[in-house]
Amino acid sequence: MVRLQHRSAERHLEGVAAKLAEMVKKGAKKAGKGRNVAVEGAEVRRLGKWSLDAMEVMLEHARMEERVLFPDIQRASFPGVCDKVQEQHGKHLPMMNGIKEDIKTLLTLELGSALFYEVLVNLSVRLKALQGRVSVVTSRVGYGSSTIAIAYSSTTALEFCSWKVDHTKEHFKEEEKDMLPRLESVRRMQREEGNVPDKSNSGWASEAMGTMEMTHSKLFPFFMTGLMPQEAVQYLDLVCRCTKNTRHLVSMLRSLAERLEDANPLIIHNNPTRLYEHLLVKSP
């Protein structure tokens, strides 16, 4: 389950980075052409929504690890094994929450307004800080200069997306190499002892899914579009076996079916992130 969640998050981050690069490249070609403002504004908002959804899934995943995964590993006499990951979570998650709130604010502002550019530059500073480049001086960029603000923020966002994809992949790789084998050892030991039935495979997965409420409700179709077909089948099997609330399960499956019903199957099989773009355009 954890590995599948990692794959979905990675692909959505890659999709956001690719879409942003495409928009920046296209924007450079169209600079100064006012007739494209409406289309570009819609694209900016769709990209912002995509980024918000990806960050929400990642934040819920991180909180799930801290509440469910790490305590089990620590209790199984593996002292210190989670320290590095927990330190990264403690440092990065508050920053990511701040970035998420800035993006939310941007989506409510008029594109091109002075306040929009001010928040945009503030967002750039947060992105730089998350990369550890905290020497950014905001006064270098005048809020009244929309062209400078856009260029500065676009460059920062591209750098951040590239860094975030690489950093996230490395973070997940470390977890899957160092921690998940220990978790599997814990679960095997618990099964052998026979005195912790609530921590069976399905019980553990059910508890983990229960802590990720948005991912397994409103964002479930989004999350699933980050999985390849075989992975999606595996995750659906887990969901069906581990979701105790039948009504909630039916709601999850119905929401997925409704969003996929008229999607091109070739998109689903060949490019999950393009599928998400298709679904996002359809969403209210």
Cα 125 to chain centroid, rounded: 20
Domain boundaries, the chain: 2-282
Question: SS3 string of 235-247?
Answer: HHHHHHHHCCCHH
Q: Is the model's pLDDT at 55 over the cut of 60?
A: yes
Report long-range pairs for 179-188 (Cβ below 8 Å, ≥24 apart). 179/69, 179/73, 179/81, 179/82, 179/85, 180/2, 180/3, 182/73, 182/76, 182/78, 182/81, 183/2, 183/69, 183/72, 183/73, 185/76, 186/72, 186/73, 186/75, 186/76, 187/72
The percent of residues above 70 in pLDDT, for the chain, comes to 64
Which is higher by pLDDT, 110 or 76? 110
Q: Give the model's pLDDT for residue 175.
A: 84
Residue 264 falls in which region: left (phi positive, over 0), alpha (psi -120 to 50) or beta: beta
Q: Is the model's pLDDT at 74 over the cut of 80?
A: no
Which is higher by pLDDT, 189 or 226? 226
User: What predicted TM-score, i.e. pTM, was given to this entire model?
Assistant: 0.75
Backbone angles phi, psi at 210, to 5 degrees: -65, -25
User: Residue 116: pLDDT band by 50, 70, 90 thresholds?
Assistant: confident
Which of 165, 198, 238, 175 has the alpha carbon at shortest distance from 16? 165
